[in-house]
Chains A and B, each alone.
Chain A
Amino acid sequence: MSTIVHAIDRRGALSLLAGGAALGVGRPSLGQGAAGRVIVVGGGFGGATAARYIRRLDPAVEVTLIEPAERFYTCPFSNLYLGGLRDFESLGHGFDALRRAGVSVVHATAEDVDTAGRTVRLSTGDTLPYDRLVLSPGIDIRWGALEGYDEAAAEKAPHAWKAGSQTKLLRAQLEAMEDGGLFVLVAPANPFRCPPGPYERISMVAHYLKTNKPHSKILVLDAKDQFSKQGLFTDAWAALYGDMIEWVGLSQDGKVVRVDADAREVETEFGNKHKAAVLNVVPPQQAGLIAERAGVTDDSGWVPVVPATFASAKVEHVYVVGDATIAAPMPKSGFCANTQAKVVAAAVVADLAGRAPPAPVWVNTCYSLIAPDYGISVAGVYRVMDGKIAEVEGSGGVSPREADAAFRKREADYGAGWYAAISADTWGA
């Protein structure tokens, strides 16, 4: 075993030893031969996968999943709901299958973490002890970081960047919009959840408008000069939606500096004002707030992790996965949250058993749907190289710029296949 320790990251090895040192001292669940107690915070892509895979790898580990929602609605495919291609309920996933897999699911919010005493305090008032903690809290909005955009403003100009009532609000506004109206999407600078997400949303809104309100227009005001799968998106927009969509990047005065949600008006850096019929603001973000409470975030508001294990780089016995982490070049995607959670599950089980974790490999494929029969993707395979996460050279990349309709259709079908597969893999249904 000691030889293998060298194969993993220094910090990983250290926390492994520390884990061993904790045996027996005030940690009855480990000392008395049980495999250990793991608390997972967040029942989304990362958390549900981690809980499930820890139980799969070692059924002796007690796993408690903390998630306030009784049904989790996914952001993936919520754009298809906005486009009228899916009903809202098809985005929902319950937790019964996880319970059947032996995970105790508690519907509560984790309010605080005592990383020294290794306990989590819940909104129910209970305090639960853990041997290892896994956080997958996703993102929180940085309210006020964009002037005029606070929680009240989001009720008028929805973000719909967490799926649920916000998504329904945006859909209702689209439905109520008159033909000929202007839909404005405000896109943030990096890093943010789901880099291709705003552009898939634009595509799906365009599909809805083309079908139902063909005189309407779409304006994207972007705080960036380039975006994910840009060439593929812009080619398809021109081919499918003509001049309906206008994209304005940072250098062309696309950066919005002020939002007036009541007037549904935004102001850009160089003083241009745009009035929308429907205003969708994707605001600046940070790691889910519980990560900050647990002390695992850094200056940037995101969570640095040990690449090989996704253990917190700052706090012992805590692992973090998903959007909350600094995992680039891996994007903040549900797919990555799921594969990161599997690496964490293996690392936690090995850690509790005093073994070295297996060498990690992560995979990602982000599908985006531009029209019902028109899908595109970006893929990547990632490993730890020179102590950092890196994309394997020669792997990955985007769909070919030149491809026929059959190819785009197959990617659309595979996108739907992906959603079914990852849902089954994450929540069991």
Chain B
Amino acid sequence: MSTANVAMQVGRTTRRAVLGGLSACVVAPGAMAGPAAWEGVPAVAALLAGVEPRRDGLALQLPALTEDGSSVNVTVVAESPMTADDHIATLHLFAPRNPSPEVAAFHLAPGLGRAEISTRIRLNESQTVIAVARTNKGEVRLAAREVTVTTTGCLVPSDQTTAGVMQEPRVRVGPSLPAEVRTIIDHPMETGLRQDSAGRPVPERIVREVIATAGETILLRAELFRSVAANPYLRFFVDGQAPVELQVTWVEDTGARVSATVQVPAA
């Protein structure tokens, strides 16, 4: 991956804008769970590998209360200049009380201009969601946020399901810089844990990767697991200092691929 040219595109203004915008987002101490919330989560412990994470510079935004655990908006924001020398390299999301705690892992390149990613996830029950970020220099940060998940009697789940194919990709690029990119694709994200109406198990079928490239450069690679909500949604930024053609590719666990291409900045 060639990051050098992308790094040069990150000017000082961008850097300051990133930091300035972030201060408002950083989660207040009260909203953070104590260390106990993540120490007992093997997947998180494995990732930390004994390193004590910083508890600042990373924010996890989720609604405190949701009445629909099948699709919960989550945004992870890290404080970072996103230069070649100093950037967030990976972001991991965990939902420890889901059948499989790992939700997604994002691999970021400096050309994103901003270390901020949103997606929609499944939450089986109320729990503390955890994000872990690692910089290119190996520094580790952790953020946690408690979410109450309820359902209401008026919200009897519908028996309608999404067509079982990957189709209709949509990508939208916002007008200002760094450019906000929103993506979505139709896909059921079958967990493999469900039974059909005849009681037969429905096999796992998920979109396992979403890759955003500008020419030769991979800007973002998102590994998705079964706790990502149906019709996977991803929002990220591209610094857009030089115009690029952004290609987004969705890869199913069957190997099937779908791609869409857009101009950044938006034409």
Is there direct touching of A and B in the complex, by C-beta distance under 8 Å? yes
**Is A226 in contact with B153, judged by CB distance below 8 angstroms?**
no
CA–CA, A375 and B193, complex, Å: 36
* Contact count A vs B, C-beta below 8 Å: 98
Known contacts A191-B65, A251-B186, A326-B65, A225 near B154 by CB under 8 Å: no
Chain A CB within 10 A, most for which of B154, B159, B184? B154
- Is B157 part of the binding interface, using a Cβ–Cβ cutoff of 8 Å? yes
Given known A226-B157, A230-B158, A250-B71, contact A329–B152 (CB-CB < 8 A): yes
- Chain B residues contacting A191 (CB-CB under 8 Å) are 65-67, 150, 152
Q: Is B261 an interface residue (CB 8 A)?
A: no
Q: In this assembly, does B172 line the interface, its C-beta being within 8 Å of a C-beta of chain A?
A: yes
A417 within 8 A of B: no
Asked if B156 is at the interface (CB within 8 A of a chain A CB), the reply is yes
Contact mask for chain A residues 307-345; partner B; CB cutoff 8 A; 1 contact, 0 none = 000000000000000000010111111000000000000
Contact of A190 with B66 in the complex, beta carbons under 8 Å: yes
> What mask results when residues 138 to 167 of chain B are scored 1 for a CB within 8 Å of chain A, else 0?
000000000010111111111110100000
Interface 0/1 of B49-73, CB less than 8 Å to A: 0000000000000011111101100
A271 proximal to B (CB < 8 A): yes
Residues of A within 8 A of B230 (CB): 225, 251
Cβ A270 vs Cβ B231 within 8 A = no
Which of A47-55, A390-398, A406-414, A418-426 contacts its partner?
Answer: A390-398
Given A224-B68, A298-B64, A300-B64: A231 and B160 interface contact (C-beta under 8 Å): yes
Q: Does B107 contact A (CB under 8 A)?
A: no
Q: Does B15 contact A (CB under 8 A)?
A: no
**Does B31 sit at the interface, judged by CB under 8 A?**
yes
Closest to B175 in A: A271
A397 to chain B, nearest CB (A): 7
Chain B residues, CB < 8 A from A229 = 154, 156
Contact status A330-B66, CB under 8 Å: no
Shortest beta-carbon distance, A297 to chain B, in Å? Answer: 10
Q: Are A195 and B152 in contact (CB under 8 A)?
A: yes
- Contact among A230, A270, A326, A391 for B153, CB-based, below 8 A: A391
Give the distance in Å from the alpha carbon of A225 to the alpha carbon of B231 in the complex.
10
Q: Flag if A231 contacts B158 (CB, 8 Å).
A: yes
A378 close to B (CB within 8 Å): yes
Asked if B205 is at the interface of the complex by the 8 Å CB criterion, the answer is no
In the complex, what distance in Å separates the CA atom of A366 from the CA atom of B162?
27
- A253 contacts partner chain B, Cβ-Cβ < 8 Å: yes
Partner of A328, one of B71, B151, B172, B186: B151
A298: B residues at CB distance < 8 A? 64-65
Inter-subunit contact B182/A270 (CB<8 Å) = yes
Please judge, given known A-B contacts A300-B63, A329-B153, A391-B153, whether A226 and B172 are in contact too, CB under 8 Å. Answer: no
Total B residues in contact with A, Cβ cutoff 8 Å = 30
B122 interface residue per 8 A CB criterion = no
Chain A residues near B64: list those with CB within 8 A. Answer: 298-300
Query: Nearest-CB distance from B241 to chain A (Å)?
Result: 23
A280 within 8 A of B: no
A382, B152: Cα distance in complex, Å: 11
B170 at the interface (CB under 8 A from A): yes
| Binary per-residue interface labels of chain B (155-198) against chain A in the complex, 1 for a CB within 8 Å, 0 otherwise | 11111101000000010100000000010101000000000000
A52 to chain B minimum Cβ distance, whole angstroms, is 25
Give the docked Cα–Cα distance between A194 and B67 (Å): 13
Interface of A (DSSP majority class): loop
Chain B residues near A415 (CB, 8 Å)? Answer: none
Query: Given the complex of chains A and B, what is the CA–CA distance between A408 and B154 in angstroms?
Result: 18
Q: Are B65 and A300 in contact (CB under 8 A)?
A: yes
| Chain A, range 368-408, C-beta contacts under 8 Å to B | 378-380, 382, 391, 396-398
B164 CB, nearest partner CB in chain A, Å: 14
Nearest chain A CB to B24 CB, angstrom units: 15
B153–A251 CB distance below 8 A: no
Q: Which A residue sits closest to B186, measured CB to CB?
A: A251
B154 A331 Cβ-Cβ under 8 A:
yes
The interface residues of chain A lying within 8 Å CB-to-CB of B68 are 189-190, 224, 226
Query: Which residue of A is nearest B232, CB measured?
Result: A251
Contact A302 B65, beta carbon cutoff 8 Å: yes
Partner of A190, one of B67, B153, B186, B231: B67
List the B side residues contacting A253 at CB < 8 Å: 170, 184
Whether A226 lies near B182 (C-beta < 8 A) is no
**Segment 220-274 of A: residues with Cβ below 8 Å from B:** 224-231, 250-251, 253, 269-271
Out of A231, A271, A329, A366, which one reaches B151, CB within 8 Å?
Answer: A329
Q: Which residues of A contact B159 (CB under 8 A)?
A: 231
- Rounded to whole angstroms, the CA-CA distance of A224 and B157 in the bound complex is 12
Q: How far is the CB of B194 from chain A (nearest CB, A)?
A: 15
By a CB distance below 8 angstroms, the chain A residues around B162 are 251
Asked if B154 and A396 sit within 8 Å, CB to CB, the answer is no
Expressed in whole angstroms, the Cα–Cα distance for A391 and B151 within the complex equals 10
Which of chain A's residues has its CB closest to B126's CB? A388
Distance, CA A196 to CA B155, complexed state (A): 8
- A326 close to B148 (CB less than 8 A): yes
Seed contacts A189-B68, A191-B150; 10 additional CB < 8 Å A-B pairs: A190-B66, A196-B154, A224-B68, A226-B158, A229-B154, A231-B158, A250-B71, A251-B230, A253-B170, A302-B65
Residue numbers of A with Cβ under 8 A of B are: 189-191, 194-196, 224-231, 250-251, 253, 269-271, 298-300, 302, 326, 328-333, 364, 366, 378-380, 382, 391, 396-398
18 contacts between A and B (CB under 8 A): A191-B66, A195-B155, A225-B70, A226-B70, A227-B158, A228-B154, A228-B156, A253-B184, A298-B64, A300-B63, A302-B65, A326-B150, A328-B150, A329-B153, A331-B152, A378-B156, A379-B153, A397-B156
Residues of chain B at the chain A interface (Cβ within 8 Å) = 31, 63-68, 70-71, 148, 150-160, 162, 170, 172, 182, 184, 186, 230-231, 233
